[in-house]
Amino acid sequence: MNRTYFKAGILIVLLVIPALFFVFLKTFGDNQFSLPKYFPVLDESGHVLITEGDTVFNTISDFNLTNQFGDDLAFAELGGDIKVVSFFFTRCGTICPILNRNLARVQESFKADSTVKFLSISIDPEFDTPAVLLKYASEFNPEFKNWQLLTGEKEYIYKLVINEFKLPVADYSGMDSSGNLDIDKAFIHSEKALLLDHDNFVRGIYDATDVLEIDRLKAEIKVLIDMNK
């Protein structure tokens, strides 16, 4: 009998102590997990700029584009929101549908949080008018209150992609006189999604076609939400 009580006591200890430890951390502990910053500022000689012992990092500058409803969007209007930024074009039949379906999963997880915004910028803006973007969006059914599909002037967007987001982009559609150019090969762009914090520092870069990377994006958005509390 004593042996039975002894085993029961051990079992209770094994079950109760982890639960108490969790309650203690939940009540008194601080979440120390943080995220790195990307894209350090370089000085004129190409070295990383350091001020008062700290590395200086780029922030995304203000820009102005047009959304799927034909409304102007100034990036500065998003204020201190978290942003997930990606690049696509509606005629893309390879990575873009996968990318946008995956981002739709992420957006679904945060649709009730007005501080998390999704910006999808077309790199084929001459074709991707607001009306085209609105029709395209119906394929993956985003919540428009926090997801904007954006278009604008092509040269402006390409400079934005390269200079601000540090990603590749190119348009070879005008180099084929036969008219038989594969549209997926005509435009070069990245499959990456970038996570921006409340101060517009880039805090994460993800392959938006990869399910595991998408799960990491969801987890790290939660980290930024907690960091801002």
Mean pLDDT of the chain: 86
Say which residue, 68 or 53, is predicted with more confidence. 68
pLDDT single digits (tens) 2-37: 555 444 444 444 444 444 333 333 333 444 568 999
pLDDT single digits (tens) 163-181: 999 999 999 887 766 666 7
213 within domain boundaries: yes
46 within domain boundaries: no
Number of domains in the chain: 1
Q: Which residues are annotated as a binding site?
A: 92, 96, 189
CATH code at 64?
3.40.30.10
207 within domain boundaries: yes
Residue percentage of the chain with pLDDT more than 70: 83
25 within domain boundaries: no
In this structure, how many other beta carbons lie within 10 angstroms of the beta carbon of residue 201? 17
Q: What is the mean pLDDT of residues 87-112?
A: 95
Q: Are 9 and 1 in contact (CB under 8 A)?
A: no
The pLDDT of residue 140: 85
State the first-to-last Cα distance of the chain, in angstroms, to the nearest integer: 53
144 lies in which domain range? 59-227
Q: Which residues are annotated as a binding site for Cu cation?
A: 92, 96, 189
34 within domain boundaries: no
The pLDDT of residue 156: 98
- Put simply, whether the predicted model's pTM sits higher than 0.85 gets the answer no
pLDDT single digits (tens) 105-159: 999 999 999 999 999 999 999 999 999 999 999 888 788 889 999 999 999 999 9
178 within domain boundaries: yes
98 within domain boundaries: yes
Q: Rounded to whole angstroms, how far apart are CA atoms 229 and 227?
A: 6
3-state SS record for 55-100: ECECECCCCEEECCCCCEEEHHHHCCCEEEEEEECCCCCCHHHHHH
Question: If we measure between CA atoms, which residue out of 206, 159, 147 comes closest to residue 61?
Answer: 159
- Of the listed ranges 77-86, 169-178, 190-199, the one predicted with least confidence: 169-178
